[in-house]
Amino acid sequence: MGLFDKILGKGETAEVPDLEEVMDAEGDVVSPPADFYVKRIDLRNEGDADLVLKELAQKNIIILNVVPLSKQPNRLKAIISKLKMQSNKTNGDIALLSTDSILLTPSNVKIVKSKPKPVKE
């Protein structure tokens, strides 16, 4: 592989392993029951936002999938603002994981947020 191939990203391609196979997930089986859970919720409407608040009150950590409302940006922003305000009020935390997911934590659980390091030229 030559210098230009390295710069242009040509040549060897790394295979991405099948992580589901590695994790060998068994679904929603939790044995023995836990004190708190990490739950994934799809945000489709205001009712789902209320479910998120209920889960946070039960001390569960939420990974919120916002893709179902991504075609309604004003509605999505309003719901996220409501969740952010409630999170601040209850001493919880909220952070963007990706463009599709938001992490919400219950009271007294904080998320370490790091800013990307500036690119040196």
Per-residue pLDDT tens over the stretch 16-27 = 667 677 666 565
Per-residue pLDDT band for 120 (boundaries 50, 70, 90) equals: confident
pLDDT at 6: 53
In angstroms, the CA 37 to CA 50 distance is 17
Domains and CATH numbers, the chain: 33-108 (3.30.110.150)
Taking residues 80-92, report their average pLDDT: 95
- Which residues 6+ apart lie within 8 Å of 64 measured at CB? 40, 41, 43, 52, 83, 101, 102, 103, 104
pTM of the predicted model as reported, rounded to 2 decimal places: 0.72
pLDDT at 12: 55
Q: Which residue has the higher pLDDT, 29 or 1?
A: 29
Q: What is the DSSP letter of 18?
A: -
27: alpha, beta or left, given left = phi > 0 and alpha = psi -120 to 50? left
- Which residues 6+ apart lie within 8 Å of 102 measured at CB? 63, 64, 66, 80, 83, 94, 95, 96
Taking residues 79-91, report their average pLDDT: 95
pLDDT at 100: 94
Residue type, 93: D
